[in-house]
Structure formats: C-alpha cells, structure tokens
Chain A
C-alpha cells in the first residue's frame, strides 16, 4: 500500500461546478497535511495547509479526518484557471510524502 494515495483522475468538470478530492495516508503518526497545486511542467505551489478543525480559503475548503486517515479538498465554483494537478502532502515531521496527484480539467 502506498503511503499517500490519491485518485489520479482526471476529473473533467464544467465551470461553476463543485469538485472534491480525497487523499488517504497510511502513517497514523503523520503530523502535518497540505494541498499543493502543480501546473503542467511547473513546480508545486502551496495551496493550503490542512488543519484538524477544517479550514477554508475562498472557494477552497480542506478537511482532515484523523480517525479514517484521509484529507479532502473541496473546490466550489470551479474556474478554468483551476485546471491543474492537486497534490496531497503528508508530513511526519522528518519525512514528507507526496501523493501522485489528481488531475483536474475545468471546461467552459
């Protein structure tokens, strides 16, 4: 079993749609969780950290479920510019593991 698993997609959604991604992790001792966004042939960029109580940044909402060992990202009112690969990142303090990413295509 991979340490961090994501549905690779692709998710094809129309503009304005709501889309959700899940990510599961295997190490119950993991401490920090992040979502990164990566555009084609570019570097990953931090989208948001994920906190135990859940957190929101504009159209983006992240949640953490420690009991089930998964994190989620919800994107509301999708824009064309949201098209990218979304990487789940789990950090145990001394080891950072990236998921392989979920590809999102938002179409007009």
Chain B
C-alpha cells in the first residue's frame, strides 16, 4: 500500500564514506522532494525535482546531490558525510507545484555517521 517508499529505513556509514539513499513512488507525481530533519527541528528542504528539472535550495551544501533517473525514483547522494549530517532524511512527492498541492512523505531514512 505504501506509495512513497524509502530505502533503507536505517543507514549507518563512516565519516567521509559516500552514501546513497533511495526513494520510489507509485503515485506518478511530478514533483519529488528531499528533506533533512534533525531532532526537534522542522524538516529542511534540500532540493526538489519538478519532472526532470532539478531545483536546489540556496543553502544546501555541495556535499548533497540528487538524481532522478525516471518519474518513479529519486536518489540522495551524500558525497562525504560528516557528523553533522546525521539526521532523518525524508522523501516526499506532490502531484504538481503551485496552489493546494500537499506533499506525501515516505517513512524516512535515519542516517547515522560513525
């Protein structure tokens, strides 16, 4: 039944070792988002794809990259994870951008850095 699926649920990586988080959706939505959420803080938008068009937030570090090879899949790549990157990473989708387009979230991937 899950419509936005994130893998893995938990990811442990070493300091500086590249890691990739995965998101897939069965909703056929045009927009896919990646958020970072730290404890007791608001989800922070990193970037989003509107179809194939990549939109980076101005304050997203270069260490974070994304790929969307097709409508269904989107990946978050962290090139050299630092201790400060430990967080929950949330993928979300919306049918379109603009008015009244609620976002649907996956379960998230909790990333730990050793």
Using a CB–CB cutoff of 8 Å, the interface residues on chain A facing chain B are 4, 8, 31-32, 34, 41-46, 49, 87, 89, 91, 93-101
Using a CB–CB cutoff of 8 Å, the interface residues on chain B facing chain A are 33, 35, 40-45, 55, 88, 90, 97-108, 110
Which residue in B40, B103, B104, B107 is a CB contact (below 8 Å) of A96?
A: B103
- The verdict on A100 contacting B106 (CB below 8 Å), with A31-B99, A93-B97 known, is no
The DSSP consensus for interface residues of chain A is strand
**When the two chains form their complex, are residues A44 and B105 in contact, meaning their CB atoms are under 8 A apart?**
yes
Which residue in A45, A93, A98 is a CB contact (below 8 Å) of B42?
A: A98
- The verdict on A94 contacting B105 (CB below 8 Å), with A100-B40, A100-B41 known, is no
**When the two chains form their complex, are residues B43 and A34 in contact, meaning their CB atoms are under 8 A apart?**
no
Top 7 A-B residue pairs of the complex, sorted by shortest distance between their CB atoms: A43-B105, A98-B42, A100-B42, A46-B102, A98-B43, A31-B99, A43-B108
With a CB–CB cut-off of 8 A, which chain B residues contact A41? 88, 110
Closest to A96 in B: B45
Report B42 CB to chain A, min CB distance, Å: 4
